[in-house]
Amino acid sequence: MPLFEVEGRSYEVDEDGFLQEPERWNREVAKDFAATEAIADLTEEHWKIIHYIRNYYLEFGIAPMIRKLCKETGHKLNEIYKLFPSGPAKGACKLAGLPKPTGCV
């Protein structure tokens, strides 16, 4: 397993940089991972989405469908891409400490 290291902290991640130990997640983890997804600062808007995904994951064990994410957070999909340039699956889920969403292609 590769390690992701930042300011003396290190995390086990998969090859796409997703956190391998979901239970280690906290706000600091999200901040540490933000730089890897081209996000300079985490704003309230970012946090709203991160928390929504995180809580959904804790409750159901999977990431929410895109449509649900947009509906529940009140963001259009292209707004989510403005906040998380690599998108909801690769960007937002990574910061929320979820394991990599499945799906082959």
Partner 1 sequence: MANDSGEKPETKMLDELEKGPWPSFVKEIKSAGQTSASAQDLLRQLELSYQEKKGHWKHGGLVGVLGYGGGVIGRYSDAGDQFPKVAQFHTLRVNQPAGWFYTSDAIRTLCDIWERHGSGLTNMHGSTGDLILLGTGTAELEPTFQELAQAGFDLGGSGSAFRTPSCCVGMARCEWACYDAMKLCYDLTMAYQDEMHRPPFPYKFKVKCAACPNDCVAAIARADLSIIGTWKDEIQVDESAVNEYASAGLNLQKDVCDLCPSKCMAWDGHKLSIENHECVRCMHCINVMPKALRPGKERGAVIMIGGKAPIMQGALLSSVLVPFVPAEELMDTLKELIRRIWDFWDEYGNNRERVGELIQRVGLPVFLDGIGLDPVPEMVSAPRDNPYIYFQVAKDGEK
Residues noted as catalytic: 104
45 to 84: interface string for ligand HEM, x by CB under 6 A: ----------------------------------------
Write the interaction track for partner 1 spanning residues 20-49; mark x where CB under 8 A is met and - where it is not. Answer: ------------------x-----------
The residue count for binding ligand HEM (CB under 6 A) is 2
Look up residue 87 and give its amino acid.
G
| All residues at 6 or more sequence positions from 47 whose CB lies less than 8 Å from its CB, including other chains | none
Return the closest-CA partner of residue 94 out of 34, 41, 49, 45.
Answer: 34
> CB of residue 102 vs ligand HEM: minimum separation in angstroms?
11
Residue 89 interacts, among partner 1, ligand HEM, none and using kind-specific CB cut-offs from 5 to 8 Å, with partner 1
Say which residues have a Cβ less than 8 Å from residue 74's Cβ, sequence separation at least 6.
none
- Residues 6 or more apart whose Cβ sits within 8 Å of residue 85: 37, 38, 39, 91
> Interface residues with ligand HEM (CB under 6 A)?
104-105
